[in-house]
Amino acid sequence: MSSITIRNLNKYYGALHVLRSLDLSIASGEGVVLLGANGCGKSTLMKCLNGLETPQSGSIVIDQNDVTTAKGLRLRSIRRDIGVVFQQFNLVENLTVFQNVLYGAMGQRRGGLLTVWNSLAPKDTREKAMHCLSRVRMADKASSRCRDLSGGQQQRVAIARMLMQSPKIILADEPVASLDPKAGIEVMDLLWEVVREHNMTVFCTLHQLDLAQNYADRIVGMKAGQIVFDSSNSSADKESLAQLYQGDTRVDGASSHENEYAAPNNRPAEIA
């Protein structure tokens, strides 16, 4: 059974054709890594999957819910089952680790921000936040300010925040791009451990061929807005993967739109 089904997806920014008749299916519980050069359309695809961008045509169905037609409360409901791991962490740096993880419960309870504020959060929510921090081995940093953490530690906190949602599907957009190689491997190890424990579906964009081959069940390659490679990890060869970064890799002018998910420095990213 497919967890994510994308059919004939087209996305334009004015005359710029960013996603070109794109088709892709991801099975429930599958770990898929999407590779491709900067500007090829990866981040735009991720934003369409989470309803942050609306394609001009085609469909995205996630667990039998059509994301492309959903709006308002319906879209928020779909997003509750989708956890997102950002490249830039999108933590509120002046707040504590514990407070940032509590934000992950915002979409799960009525009342929004007030129900997850430190002193007002229900006991079970506070206990779950500490459990999530323990799972990413950051419980001892619960009272620390996020600004005082290393990049790898901040990404662990972001994963704990994502776990607060109890999502079925994880979208991870370049989750280790801001980290040094050692911290990147540690974060990928942790992310994949969590995914396997809970039998989640994960769709992850990366640049690093070695990481893709170390973690993915399946590797998909994207070039200039199109899927040009789709293979099980065991069948993927480095020569074919390397060609994703050769020749005409970009959608012309895509750099102005292919930005990472972003939230202002002192506001939590949208999690609902």
* More confident of the two residues 266 and 130: 130
The whole-number average pLDDT for the span 32-54 is: 93
Average pLDDT over residues 33-62: 94
The stretch 232-243 carries a mean pLDDT of 83
How many percent of the chain have pLDDT more than 90? 64
pLDDT value at residue 119: 59
Q: Residue 162: pLDDT band by 50, 70, 90 thresholds?
A: very high
User: Which pLDDT tens digit goes with each residue over 80-95?
Assistant: 899 999 888 889 899 9
Among residues 55, 62, 41, 73, the alpha carbon closest in space to that of 8 is found at 55
pLDDT of 68 reads 94
**Using 50, 70 and 90 to split pLDDT, how confident is the model at 241?**
confident
Mean pLDDT of 212-217: 93
Sign of CA dihedral 249, 251, 253, 257: negative
| pLDDT attached to residue 237 | 80
Distance set, CA 56 to CA 2, 20, 26, 60, 226 (Å): 23, 11, 22, 12, 16
Check residue 109 and give its pLDDT: 55
Length of the chain: 272
DSSP the chain: -EEEEEEEEEEEETTEEEEEEEEEEEETT-EEEEE--TTSSHHHHHHHHTTSS--SEEEEEETTEETTT--HHHHHHHHTTEEEE-TT----TTSBHHHHHHGGGGGGSTTGGGGGSTTTS-HHHHHHHHHHHHHTT-GGGTTSBGGGS-HHHHHHHHHHHHHTT--SEEEEESTTTTS-HHHHHHHHHHHHHHHHHTT-EEEEEES-HHHHHHH-SEEEEEETTEEEEEEEGGG--HHHHHGGGSSS-SPTTGGGT-PPP---TTSPPP--
The mean pLDDT of the chain is: 86
Is the pLDDT score of 191 beyond 90?
yes
The residues facing 173 across adjacent strands are 205
Q: Could you say which architecture CATH assigns to the domain 2-256?
A: 3-Layer(aba) Sandwich (3.40)
Averaged pLDDT, 159-188: 92
Residue 214 has pLDDT above 50, yes or no: yes
Amino acid 258: pLDDT: 53
Q: What local confidence, expressed as pLDDT, does residue 149 receive? A: 95
Cα(110)–Cα(112) distance, rounded to whole angstroms?
A: 6
For position 196, what pLDDT does the model report?
92
pTM of the model: 0.85
Average confidence (pLDDT) over 183-193: 93
Give the mean model confidence (pLDDT) for residues 172-183: 91
CA distances from 214 to 5, 151, 174, 183, 241 (A): 25, 22, 15, 15, 14
pLDDT digits (tens, 9 = 90+) for 65-81: 999 999 998 998 899 89
pLDDT mean over 178-184:
90
